[in-house]
Amino acid sequence: MAGIGGSLARYAQRVAVDVTMDKIVSLSRRRGFVFPSSEIYGGLGSTYDYGHYGVLLKNNIRSLWFEAMVQERDDIVALDSAIILNPKVWEASGHVSGFTDPLIDCRTCKLRFRADQLEQSHCGRKPSKHPGEWKECDLTEARQFNLMFQTQVGALEDESSTAYLRPETAQGIFINFKNVLQLARRKPPFGIAQIGKSFRNEITPGNFLFRVREFEQMEMEYFVPPAEAERWYRYWIDERFNWYVKYGVRESQLRKREHSAEERSHYSSGTTDIEYLYPIGWSELEGVANRGDFDLKQHTEHSGTKLEFVGDDGERYTPYVIEPAVSIERIFVAMLVDAYDEEVVADRDRTVLRLHPAIAPVKAAILPLIPRNGDMVEKARGLYDELRKRHIVEYDDGGQIGRRYRRQDEIGTPFAFTIDDHTLDDDTVTVRDRDSLAQERLPIGAVRAWLEEALERPWRTPKA
């Protein structure tokens, strides 16, 4: 049965939206997704804290990645390795000597640039040009700057106690290869997946969460017989690309970009970035690399422990590794940008996050139409208590109903159940759809099943 929303929907006018990073930052702040970290002390450049909805959104991204990579597969197991590893790990992996970016300082404007990104950088003078383009620019020679954060383990600050915060989660997986191979009784092809914080002392952090110094990586190392590496490399590029499409990211905003031989890391024999069209332009969302046998061979050599596969028939080889690697932060920004929309409904502006229901922080709002009406409140709270056992849902009785809808629109809540006069007569509620604004009535007893079914339905964004 169509309700009043049917008529409202007819008045919705899409407006062409220029989704800037500023709009995303401001919405994130306004609705409590993300706050600048240490704000009361003036902040600390490019570090952020996550508020309630940010935590919920991150939880969803993390668990849907884990679902696709581990839960729904027979060939991948999970791992959670330490953040501070034996420093020899980072010598073997090449990070101590080679995990560097070339750094250039300007003696005039005191800014610091990445030598390989001068074209994308802006000089401190006005009007801003690329560094080196003003005659006053006084640039230093490029010097290599190691991105790993150092720390001391134990009380003695001598060289033997220097350790690093991990700059990637992958090495924790390689050094556990033997443990997993033996205990999980696996043979290639099989994978090990890990989610956890990584740290990089980036020279030029910025663009909100896109490049931060502390981020949560989701990496999976897939070990394969060398002859199958190319096939699995292509397979994982497609799998990961399709994961974004499945969770509502518009295909028109995604592309695969294969690295040229010069661009590839020393360990890689093939790398493809899955790029998203961020407000800063096409940029790496996720990387898929064919790392060959580089890592297992390096750790075999440096540790003296053979990291290889030995079959029952005596077959023996060092597997090749295919690695899809991404951070929750880059997915977080891509999903917010992709979801952000503005329209005019009945002469009023509406900002809405058209997030896939599985990604949305809150799945449904339960709203008594008239908060002063004790019967409505009681019914609404009863429904809320039923739904919250299974889902993240929100009860809201603060302010006008229109305002409450807008609040839910801005955090991307896909459905709102409103308890009104009719509910008191016939035990039906109105369900409002975030995207179409259509409304229908449902028996209150059927809401839970309806919601569960709705959350499982395939979803496509109405955004162009």
Site for ligand ATP, rule CB under 6 A:
168, 200, 202, 211-212, 215, 217, 284, 286-287, 325-327, 329-330
Q: Give the amino acid at 117.
A: Q
Distances from the Cα of 302 to the Cα of 61, 139, 167, 227, 387, angstroms: 36, 39, 19, 26, 54
Smaller CB separation from ligand ATP, 209 or 393? 209
Q: How far is the CB of 26 from ligand ATP (least distance, A)?
A: 20
Smaller CB separation from ligand ATP, 333 or 366? 333
Q: How far is the CB of 200 from ligand ATP (least distance, A)?
A: 5
Q: How far is the CB of 202 from ligand ATP (least distance, A)?
A: 5
Smaller CB separation from ligand ATP, 243 or 309? 243
Q: How far is the CB of 422 from ligand ATP (least distance, A)?
A: 49
Q: How far is the CB of 154 from ligand ATP (least distance, A)?
A: 28
Smaller CB separation from ligand ATP, 206 or 443? 206
Q: How far is the CB of 409 from ligand ATP (least distance, A)?
A: 28
Residue facing ligand ATP at closest CB distance: 327
Smaller CB separation from ligand ATP, 47 or 436? 47
Smaller CB separation from ligand ATP, 212 or 380? 212
Q: How far is the CB of 209 from ligand ATP (least distance, A)?
A: 7
Q: How far is the CB of 190 from ligand ATP (least distance, A)?
A: 21
Q: Which of 218, 80, 85, 99 has the alpha carbon at shortest distance from 164?
A: 85
Smaller CB separation from ligand ATP, 195 or 366? 195
